[in-house]
A and B are shown apart, each in its own frame.
Chain A
Amino acid sequence: QVQLVESGGGVVQPGRSLRLSCAASGFNFSIYGMHWVRQAPGKGLEWVAVISHAGNGIYYGDSVKGRFTISRDNSKSTLYLQMNSLTVEDTAVYYCAKKPPGTAAAGIDSWGQGTLVTVSS
C-alpha cells in the first residue's frame, strides 16, 4: 500500500527558506517519478514540480522557478522540496504525489496528506 508522509512544514518569515520532506513506503520509490503540488487556503490545486525516478528530469511551475528545488534520495525513499525566498503567496498545504507507471506517467496516482507552510512576519 502506497504511503507518502510529508514533513517540514511550519511558520516561516518572508524571505527565509524551508525544506520539505516526503517519506515514501509501500512501493519501489526508486522507479517512480514524483511531484510536489500545493494548495493555498481556500484555493485550487497548483502544480509545483516533478522529478524523474533517477533525478535527471526536472520541471517547475512558473511561480516557483528559480526559487524552489526538487530533489530525491532513492537510498532513503525520500523526496525533498527546498524553498527559498519565500513570500506570503507561498502559503499553502504542500502535497507529495506519485507518478503512475508506464503510459500513465504524465499524471498522478497517489497523494500524501500534505504539510502546511505558512509564510508570515
Chain B
Amino acid sequence: QTVVTQEPSLTVSPGGTVTLTCASSTGAVTSGNYPNWFQQKPGLAPRALIYNTNNKHSWTPARFSGSLFGGKAALTLSGVQPEDEAEYYCLLYYGGARVFGGGTKLTVL
C-alpha cells in the first residue's frame, strides 16, 4: 500500500517563505506522478492550487509555486498572508490510482 508523507504541521510568520514537501513510499517523486496541491480551510471543500508539479490554475495566487526537490514534490509560499493559514494536501498519480498525502497544517503566526 502506497503511503504519501507530508509534514504534519509548519509555522511561518506573515511575509515569510515556507516550503511544504510531499514524499512517496515507492521512491522519488517524479513529474510522472503529476503532483497536485490543494488548500483546505475549516468547514470548506478543498481548492486546487497546483497541477503537474508546477502549473498554477487561473485562480492560484502568484505567491504559490510548485517544484520537485530532493526526490519530493514541494509547495512554496512566498510572502505568506494571514489568509494562507490552512491545511495543504498533495496528490500523487500512480498509473491510474491516486493517493493523497496526510496533509500539512500551516499556521501563520
- A residues lining the B interface (CB < 8 Å): 35, 37, 44-47, 50, 57, 59-62, 95, 100, 103-104, 106-114
The 4 closest A-B pairs by CB, nearest first: A106-B34, A107-B36, A59-B96, A106-B93
Nearest B residue (CB) for A110: B48
A44-B46 in contact (CB<8A): no
Q: A106-B36, A108-B36 are in contact. Are A45 and B52 (CB under 8 A)?
A: no
- CA of A83 to CA of B47 in the docked complex: distance in angstroms? 25
- How extensive is the interface on chain B, given as a class? 20 to 34
Q: B37-63 CB contact bits vs A (8 Å, 1 = yes)? A: 010100001111001100101000000
List, in ascending order, chain B residues with CB within 8 A of A104's CB.
Answer: 51-52, 55
Task: Select which of A45, A60, A113 is within 8 A of B89 by beta carbon.
Answer: A45
- B residues lining the A interface (CB < 8 Å): 1, 34, 36, 38, 40, 45-48, 51-52, 55, 57, 87, 89, 91, 93, 96-103
Q: A47-B97, A95-B45, A113-B45 are in contact. Are A106 and B38 (CB under 8 A)?
A: no
A60-B52 in contact (CB<8A): no
A selection of 13 A-B contacts at a CB cut-off of 8 Å is A35-B98, A45-B100, A47-B100, A59-B96, A59-B97, A95-B46, A100-B51, A104-B51, A107-B36, A107-B48, A107-B51, A108-B91, A113-B45
- CA of A43 to CA of B66 in the docked complex: distance in angstroms? 24
List, in ascending order, chain A residues with CB within 8 A of B57's CB.
Answer: 109
Task: Select which of A44, A50, A110 is within 8 A of B102 by beta carbon.
Answer: A44
List, in ascending order, chain B residues with CB within 8 A of A44's CB.
Answer: 87, 89, 100-103
List, in ascending order, chain B residues with CB within 8 A of A59's CB.
Answer: 96-98
A55: shortest Cβ distance to chain B, in Å?
Answer: 15
B85: shortest Cβ distance to chain A, in Å?
Answer: 17
B19: shortest Cβ distance to chain A, in Å?
Answer: 19
Task: Select which of A47, A62, A108, A114 is within 8 A of B48 by beta carbon.
Answer: A108
